[in-house]
Structure 1
Amino acid sequence: MTMSRAAAVVLLLAVALVSTTTTVAAASHHSHHHHHHDGFAEVFDRQEADLVEALPGQPAGLGVRQFAGYVTVNETHGRALFYWFFEATHDVAKKPLVLWLNGGPGCSSLGYGALEEIGPLLIQKGTPELRLNPNAWNKEANLLFLEQPAGVGFSYTNTTADLERFGDELAMIDLLVRVDAFVNESAHDAYTFLVNWFERFPQFKGHDFYIAGESYAGHYVPNLAEKIVEQNKKVHKSRRINFKGFMIGNAAIDEASDDRGMLDYAWDHAVISDELYDDINKHCSGDTDGRVPVSSTRHALRKLGLRTLKQWRAWFTSDQVGGFQVDYDGLTFVTVRGAGHMVPTVTPVQASQLFAHFLAAKELPPKPIVA
């Protein structure tokens, strides 16, 4: 049995609960007249300060502007989050803005997402040179990578107590209450980051905004989405975020479903015997640390009790089956054939195809595409 064939994987796309059309298209034109010129100059200077000329080992032909830097999320605690931003390859002013979050908890969105999965520059084995990514997601969107919570990657805090609150031990499943507090606090910081980032980059304020992520981001992404939807109801319309939806790959959503799904997956692929399968089903309900197979996500989605709009069916990439999908009310569940836990690393073509269709709200090809 080859693992690559067996390890089908989940990409879970959900359209936001709220998609208001009366959003902040006007926000970029909103300015106090007497500050007009100073404001523009200040914004321009701040962006210039974050502009990255080039990275060591960067190949020719990147062809897009990139920015990186810190955004303070808590002055009192001295807490700041680090971001890396790539403009889209074309139509920068029209393309959506997508925030990418890796999981972990503790995984860097730069080290994984940007440099190994979906960014325009990828690291190479055994050489300090970067290479261009032919399947980069910034062909479809302006891409914002965020390292969060504080303590991950370059993001930091000057208050030691913060690190205890954001520590990895909080991800242990038996501390569910603390996990909730940790995820909510992360969402609060990520939301503050966005508000402050939009002040630095006001030209993107009116763009359609999406959040995408992977693995433990199954906790981060929906929490941040909920925070944005709640805050949009409370804040002045000039501060609203034009939030359109989210997309999670291999989402760690619900621990019980993940564990049950891993067991089904191992048994389906003859990794464990019938006896062991029955035994574990009868006697165990433990905290296991593992990846999130398709079966796990299906268990988790069943708990949502959503109406099925379109049944389980194949979708195509070229003349081959790319995976399977099912449409629920407000949410689409898509598998990617032959992918692993990091979908864009293993099956980059299918992942970028899926991303493009998601942003365009277009159906994935239901028939083989003949070259």
Structure 2
Amino acid sequence: MEKRIRCGLPLFSFFLLLSFISSAIATSQEKQKVSTLPGQSFNVSFAHYSGYITVSKDTGRALFYWFFEATEDPASKPLVLWLNGGPGCSSIAYGLAEEIGPFHVNPDGKGLHLNPYSWNQVANILFLDSPVGVGFSYSNSSNDVLNNGDERTAKDSLKFLQEWFKKFPQYKGRDFYLTGESYAGHYVPQLAQAIVRSQKLTGEKSINLKGYMVGNALTDDFHDHLGIFQFMWAAGLISDQTYKLLNVLCDFQSFVHTSTACEKILEAASNELGNIDPYSIFTPSCPASTTFSRNKLLKRLHSVGRMGEKYDPCTEKHSTVYFNLPEVQKALHVNAAVAPSKWETCNDAVNENWKDSPRSVLPIYHELINSGLRIWMFSGDTDSVIPVTSTRYNVDALKLPTVTPWHAWYDDGQVGGWSQEYKGLTFVTVRGAGHEVPLHRPKEALVLFKAFLLGSPMPTLTEVQDS
């Protein structure tokens, strides 16, 4: 009897400890839960959470996230991380508030409306403001904000995920995907590589990475520049002379660190473009944009991933108003002691002080294709900042065997874009979309996202007719 008691006590204590840990996790999640937001005049069926994850105790670097459970049966749905680029731009400002998130900001900047094409209809979506200095993400060391770069961003994002899964352990082992656009063309494959390599070293499988998808993605400086200049010339946006000089002076330049000669010819190209939005060349600009300086194209090429336009070209302005409201920040659990004095969609200090930015991430594609990940690239075809021509040059440079040749895909009987499937990669264009595809073509973007999650080809006309 005494032996049984001695064996039983540790077992009882073990289950008591498990119960305590489970209760602590539930309490922690409940503290991060967001209730009704200011300007929200509707109810939702899903839970959402926001807060910080510390990624460096030494300097107090902490990244801000906003997580949305799927609208129905979240326990059966995959987990997806969305990243915006810049570098220095907020995933809350763009991906969430005007692209794929369930809440979009009203024109008055004080209210919200539901997005009928939100991606949390089919997945649990996690938005991350990365690196520090972006959105509500912060560091206790001001020097951190001035020393961001690709390498540290990938390490911090990996640390974020590892700590986030501790806070939300019910998602450990869940099918997990990375998505993003623009300069996230660096962030996403770099983070995927960090996850894969980390798991090979440690054997830890909490992050069950299945694949990634990037849109209008900065990928390789040479091919991206080549495609941009060709697209602008073919679309009639720049002169023959400027086109030739761009190819001579900027072809081997870095997007982040550009030479003086390249900057001058980019300024000339900007003047020739006139007052259009390079991110969406066929839609009207926001009236506030008419005062852009002469080097607007240069600034936008340096800040890959800023605003695009849909029917409302001023969505960025609305978000700026909304996320600066004190009551909004309080509802999102923003710590007033570390909140920025003025919340901005992009942090110029982060962008202007960016350190390392490799000229190409194509070698990472080769590595990850060989690891068996599902990899998709998509491109809105009215974007001149990272246009469809750039992405096609990048895909061609991978020299992958074709599985399914170039063909149109359809939505509601209309051509939604074109696609080609390769061994290890699928490329999709979205017809009529600018740099931010889900902003301009939200319905088609949701069709694309569903196909990506399923690993199925984009719908053909035959499939549409049969259905």
Q: Please indicate the TM-score interval, normalised by the length of the shorter structure.
A: 0.7 to 0.9
**Pairing 1:1-371 to 2, within 5 Å after superposition:** 33=15, 35-166=17-148, 182-237=149-204, 239-282=205-248, 284-285=250-251, 286=253, 287=258, 289=298, 290=301, 291-367=385-461, 369-370=464-465
In 2, the alpha carbon distance for the partners of 1:352 and 1:334 equals: 13
What is the distance in 1 between the residues matched to 2:238 and 2:102? 40
- Contact 1:59/1:132 (<8 A) preserved: no
Identity across matched positions, percent? 47
Spell out, residue by residue over 1:22-48, the C-alpha distance to the aligned partner (whole angstroms, 9 max, x if none): xxxxxxxxxx64621111011001101
Rounded Cα–Cα distance in structure 1 between residues aligned with 2:155 and 2:249: 39
SS in 2 for 1:111: helix
1:257 to partner: Cα distance: 1.3
1:284-343: CA deviation from partner (whole Å, max 9, x where unpaired): 535464310000111122222222222111101111100011111111111000000111
Cα distance, 1:124 vs structure 2: 1.3
* Highest RCO, 1 vs 2 (Cα 8 Å, sep ≥ 6): 1
Once the 2 structures are TM-superposed, how far is the Cα of residue 161 of structure 1 from its aligned partner?
A: 2.3
Deviation at 1:264, TM superposition (A): 1.0
Structure 2: gaps spanning 5 or more residues: 1-13, 259-265, 267-297, 302-384
Asked if structure 2 preserves the Cα contact closer than 8 Å seen for 1:205 and 1:242, the reply is yes
Gaps of 5+ in 1: 1-31, 167-181
> Distance between the aligned counterparts of 1:283 and 1:85, measured in 2?
43
Query: Shift of the alpha carbon at 1:280?
Result: 4.0
Give SS of 1:156's match.
Answer: coil
The structure having more radius of gyration, on CA atoms, is 2
- What TM-score does the superposition give when structure 1 sets the normalisation length? 0.84
Give the conservation status (yes or no) of the 8 Å contact 2:66–2:127. Answer: yes
> In the TM superposition, what is the alpha-carbon distance from 1:202 to its structure 2 partner?
0.4
Root-mean-square deviation over aligned CA pairs? 1.7
TM-superposed CA distance for 1:355, in Å, is 0.2
Distance, in Å, in 2 between the alignment partners of 1:242 and 1:283 is: 44
Q: How far off its partner does 1:273 sit? A: 3.9
Per the normalisation by structure 2, the TM-score is: 0.67
In structure 2, what residue type is equivalent to 1:216? Y
d(CA) in 2 for partners of 1:108, 1:61: 26
Report how far residue 364 of structure 1 moved. 1.0
The alignment partner of 1:157 has SS state of coil
Q: Distance in 1 between matches of 2:96 and 2:247?
A: 39
Counterpart in the other structure of 1:175 = none
How far 1:241 moved relative to its partner?
1.0
Q: Tell me the number of residue pairs that the alignment of Structure 1 and Structure 2 aligns.
A: 324
- 1:126 Cα deviation from its structure 2 partner: 2.0
Distance change >3 Å, CA 283–CA 108, structure 1 → 2: closer
Please give the alpha-carbon distance, in whole angstroms, between the structure 2 residues aligned to 1:132 and 1:59.
10
Per the alignment, residue 179 of structure 1 pairs with none
SS in 2 for 1:69: strand
- Kindly indicate which of the two structures has a greater share of residues assigned to strand: 1
Deviation at 1:127, TM superposition (A): 4.6
